[in-house]
Amino acid sequence: MTEPKDIDLLVQADVLYPMMSNEEIILNAEVAIINDQIVYAGPKLNSNKWNAKEIILGDGKVVMPGFVNCHSHAASLVFRGQSDDGAGGKALYSVAFRAEATITPEQWRDFARVGVLDMVKAGFTTINDIWYEPEALAEICLEAGLRAQIAYKVFDVCLEDLYLNLYNHSTKIGDMRLNRGVDFVKNWNGAGNGLITGRIGPHATDTCSSELHKNAYMEAKKLKVGRHTHAAQSAGEVAYIRSKYGVGPVVYLQELGVLDPDIILAHLTYADNADLKAAASEGVKYAHCSTIYPRRGVYPDIIEITKKGIEWGLATDWMMNDPFEAMRNALNAIRLKQGKHTAYTSTQALYGSTTDSATVLGLENSIGKVQEGFKADLIQIDINQPHLVPFYAEYASIAYYARASDVVTSIINGKVVMRDRVVIGIDETKALEAVAKHIPALSDKMLKLGGAVHPGLCPCGF
């Protein structure tokens, strides 16, 4: 008789979505984990097969890969409600960019901690974040056990002046910010047993001078890390680049010689055919933030992006950190744009938020699938919910009906980081209280900038 195999963790499930290329869905399944790796994923084996230190039961549970968020701003929750109606995308310049300059490092840390809680509880096991205070975000990701690729937001203009269409590029500002971005990568890349990966983050095509884009490219090559930037995200950005260089923003980056497969472009909302050709020819990766676009009444040409062979995954951008919302927005928008229900399927949406997003991050051989030899990044979803029964175990069962609040367990790098919807490494009550203390000052700030705040709001009751 064969001796039971010693393992660290056995995760069971009524339904397993491995997200393998054969699209197989497995009933009555289990996943065996040693250290940070999956050593078995498939139908339940004989009870004598495993000698597990811990077993997580799977009655009424689905197991699938954790979601991969290939473009996010975890700490940007401070701007919730500020650009969803009315000014829409314009509030990015008139409210957000102006407010960002006044927020302290301590406040960013508090916002980031709640943002990381939000990510983990929504089912994300990996994020790709570009923002302020990357060191604080990295520390908090390690507290929570969240896998993260992080870039410092590098630019050389005064963002708070852009709403007036004033682009005064400063070499001093650019060099200072790029140096900090480089230092972050040197100090944090590979931290936490590989949980943290550094990237260089030139903020956007218009907020970095040509020289800064080139310097960011060269520094990333020296460090052997990728880059992460915004491209064609707003009409103002496109207008500025065209007025100055006579081409669209992605063609502009191509002409600078800074496009390659190691760069992730977020948005492409206003990219034209020439821009998409440039992206495709250089093998860039694309982060598609499906939740933010419909709010602003625009949508990227995702069909042409796909036809051109540009690899893309689903992302949240900022404020609504919910992979289920991202999938449903993509499903509905793409079908409406195409005028046919087969334009984008539930299967594609689930792959888009797991395996495809992992490919965007260059992690397609380690995460995004529940597969032997892959990192043990997976979640359990409780399907005993009124909005999920009867559960027919199809891709649509998750993509169209599950909610972030259904995610009950999260395992990252082989470690249980959330159990029964409690994130183990972060005190949620204290994190929420810390943000609540900032509400009065933030309310005043947003009102003065033309934001959307109910007068007299206080932290009472938060």
What confidence tens digit (pLDDT) does each residue in 165-208 have?
A: 899 999 999 999 999 999 999 999 999 999 999 999 999 999 99
Question: H-helix or E-strand containing 238?
Answer: helix 235-245
Task: Read off the pLDDT band of 396 (50, 70, 90).
Answer: very high
Collapse the DSSP code of 149 into the 3-class scheme (helix H, G, I; strand E, B; otherwise coil) and give the result. Answer: strand
Contact between residue 462 and residue 428 where contact means Cβ atoms under 8 Å apart: no
Tens digits of per-residue pLDDT, 416-460? 999 999 999 999 999 999 999 998 888 888 888 887 777 665 544
5-65+374-423: CATH topology is Urease, subunit C; domain 1 (2.30.40)
Mean predicted confidence (pLDDT) in 86-115: 87
Cα 297 to Cα 272: distance, rounded to the nearest angstrom: 17
CATH class of 67-360: alpha beta
pLDDT at site 89? 57
Q: How far apart are CA 416 and CA 54, in angstroms?
A: 10
pTM exceeds cut of 0.85? yes
User: Residue 392 carries which side chain, given as an amino acid letter?
Assistant: Y
The pLDDT tens digits of the residues spanning 201-248 come to 999 999 999 999 999 999 999 999 999 999 999 999 999 999 999 999
- Residue 218 has a CB neighbour count (10 Å cut-off) of 13
pLDDT tens track for 313-335: 999 998 899 999 999 999 999 99
Confidence band, pLDDT 50/70/90 cuts, at residue 84:
confident
Residue 4 preceded by cis peptide, ω within 30: no
User: Could you give the residue range(s) of every CATH 2.30.40.10 domain in the chain?
Assistant: 5-65+374-423
pLDDT-above-70 percentage for the chain: 97
- The whole-chain average pLDDT of the chain stands at 94
Q: Tell me, what DSSP letter sits at residue 253? A: H
pLDDT digits (tens, 9 = 90+) for 8-65: 999 999 999 999 977 799 999 999 999 999 999 999 999 899 999 999 999 999 999 9
Q: What is the reported pLDDT for 462? A: 39
Ranges of CATH 3.20.20.140 domains, the chain: 67-360
